[in-house]
Structure 1
């Protein structure tokens, strides 16, 4: 009888150890400041991405699975508009309400690149900076930007719309019922903007030619991830 009890105890210990060994690791992969950070839950630096703001009590899930950390320079003092990209920098998950809800933002169609492609090769990406509710993806050949952090009031419900003249001389109007991309939801270069009717919307006026300087940033300038976490 004692032998059976001993064997049962050993099996229980082995079962508990097995469960503990398989527990998916969670690690902080980026800090914006002392109360906002990103957690990655998964093996080999890939998995679920979580956004946490301890001051506002926000815990949200920008990417449900298969997120791989962005390895290039990443500076993000912006708080209302939060934009994240991953390892390949092929698109963005953005929040316009301090990280409570998330949507997908993409590169605009059209000739953003010198070769007429709409997005840069992953290997050309140098850095991603998000400041003053605007994102800036710097590459070896171009600077991609989201719009400034507001929608042109002329195309909000009840607005008069925006009349404009296209490059072929024809007259058109951007109507409130079909305003196009809302602020922060698309990234393009100045080259791409020249081919887009967004150029007539106020949130795209007077864009900079370089990434704005960020001073006294308290967060990390790169994501950090331990490939051996949980092993």
Structure 2
């Protein structure tokens, strides 16, 4: 470092001497040497920075190609349905979506059911995830109403394009068999209240189950949603002065200086 300081002072003195003597050629040469020495000695911000952004993680997997993805902190944020084989990427919620905590198994079929975490609504697709619409669990029960919550729901199964939900207080809720465009999710109690209604009559509502269906042995999806609330996703912001630092090292080598400059941390 002392050698560089000596070069710097010597070139500055030579520049001033040539300037007053009006030796223009030597003036420019000494000034160039001064700039080279100055660049070789000046400390530059020399560290890459690590910043953190909202992490993205798979919170539920239907199979190898189909899954639900969440981007956000603390297992809450923007949610997508993804089928990377068919190149489907559908935004289910722009913000504030939360993962389900109850047992949940879903066969990879054309009908897709994604409940909100408070079960106030369910996003449903009938075309393999290319589009979704929102339906609600039927709460009317003749003389009153009842709404399942995460405290009363025991488990959820979706198979044969039907949605089944077991509630501690109302047994099994289900959606109709998968033909036709109209859809709803009702309990056995609600079905009795709606007997005679055209909306709930027909083959779509036959065979009320007494027990929850069992997932087939070839099911490869998850049995629960999974999420790491402490996950952080880091990105490296590379040092913008890296080319100058490389040039500085070459200049120092050219000047015969072996000790390194201690670069400062970039603060912004």
State the TM-score, normalizing by the size of structure 1: 0.75
Runs of 4 or more consecutive aligned structure 1 residues displaced over 3 Å after TM superposition:
1-7
Could you say which structure has the greater relative contact order, defined with CA pairs below 8 angstroms and 6 or more residues apart? 2
Aligned-pair RMSD on alpha carbons? 2.3
Larger radius of gyration: 2
Q: 1:225 aligns with which of 220, 224, 227?
A: 227
For residues 95-133 of structure 1, the C-alpha deviation after alignment (integer angstroms, 9 at most, x for no partner) is 111011111110124118xx8323223301111111111
CA pair 5-194 structure 1, distance change in 2 beyond 3 A = farther
Higher normalized helix content (fraction of residues): 2
Give unpaired runs (5+ residues) of structure 1: 152-181
Aligned to 1:46: 76
Q: Distance in 1 between matches of 2:80 and 2:41?
A: 45
Q: Secondary structure at the match of 2:200?
A: helix
CA pair 215-5 structure 1, distance change in 2 beyond 3 A = farther
Q: Distance in 2 between matches of 1:201 and 1:209?
A: 19
Aligned to 2:58: 28
CA pair 5-120 structure 1, distance change in 2 beyond 3 A = farther
Q: Distance in 2 between matches of 1:224 and 1:119?
A: 25
Deviation at 1:62, TM superposition (A): 1.6
Deviation at 1:195, TM superposition (A): 1.9
Deviation at 1:46, TM superposition (A): 0.3
CA pair 120-3 structure 1, distance change in 2 beyond 3 A = farther
Deviation at 1:206, TM superposition (A): 2.1
Aligned to 2:191: 193
State the TM-score, normalizing by the size of structure 2: 0.65
Aligned to 2:178: 149
Q: Given the alignment of the two structures, is residue 82 of structure 1 paired with residue 112 of structure 2, yes or no?
A: yes
